[in-house]
Copies of this chain bind each other. A is one copy, B any other.
């Protein structure tokens, strides 16, 4: 199934940029937002484990509190929508059991048929330290961040990935401490302000000859 041409894809990827100034009066429609939430839900992850929660921050007070943990970057409060991508601080037996149960349910497969797959996941996960498992979960969230930004670009929605934040500060504001989840990264989404000077600066990337190598 093909829904986009190479030209359309590249036009969208060139159109996007890390939006610094959003127009706070322009709100993403509920139909488009629902699609972006689904792009998060549908993100691929290792073994399908989906070790994440996507927190959509609507409350203006919470947004204002996050702003103080984001070096004052105005995207936090001015963007139409603001998502915090949080990941599991570990992977435990229950995480794997929940996922196997979910698969079994949706694919109408008896637990016994999934026992082999479950064992593979368990083996893979048990060989890691808690720290490595947490870091692995964070990497999965960056797949979601990539899928979200690409999806947004195709739908004409501006986005700004937010790494310049205090994850510990976010965890405190969002009461994630001791929840089993921690802030990995965030993303502001909405529509660029006509005043964002970054919108018209030529996109800078290393030449393909530096970053692509054929072997």
Contact = CB atoms under 8 A, between A and B. Distances in A.
A169 to B, nearest CB: 15
Q: In this complex, which of A54, A139, A215 has the most chain B Cβ atoms within 10 angstroms of its Cβ? A: A215
Contacts of A6: 31-32, 34-35, 155
Contact of A55 (B142, B154, B205, B215): B215
Interface in A49-89: 50, 52-59, 62
Nearest to A143: B146
A42 interface: yes
A207 to B, nearest CB: 8
A55 B213 contact: yes
Interface string A1-43: 1111110111111111010000000000001101101111111
Contacts of A174: 215
Contacts of A5: 155
Contacts of A143: 142-143, 145-146, 149, 161
A12 B8 CA distance: 15
A19 B34 CA distance: 26
Interface residues of A, number: 83
A5 to B, nearest CB: 8
Given A142-B140, A142-B146, A204-B48, A57 B215 contact: yes
Contacts of A99: 206
B155 A4 contact: yes
Contacts of A12: 1, 3-4
A211 B37 CA distance: 10
Q: In this complex, which of A3, A58, A124 has the most chain B Cβ atoms within 10 angstroms of its Cβ? A: A3
Given A44-B149, A151-B150, A11 B18 contact: no
Nearest to A104: B204
A215 B39 CA distance: 19
**Closest CB pairs A-B (n = 6):** A146-B146, A6-B35, A142-B142, A2-B156, A4-B154, A3-B8
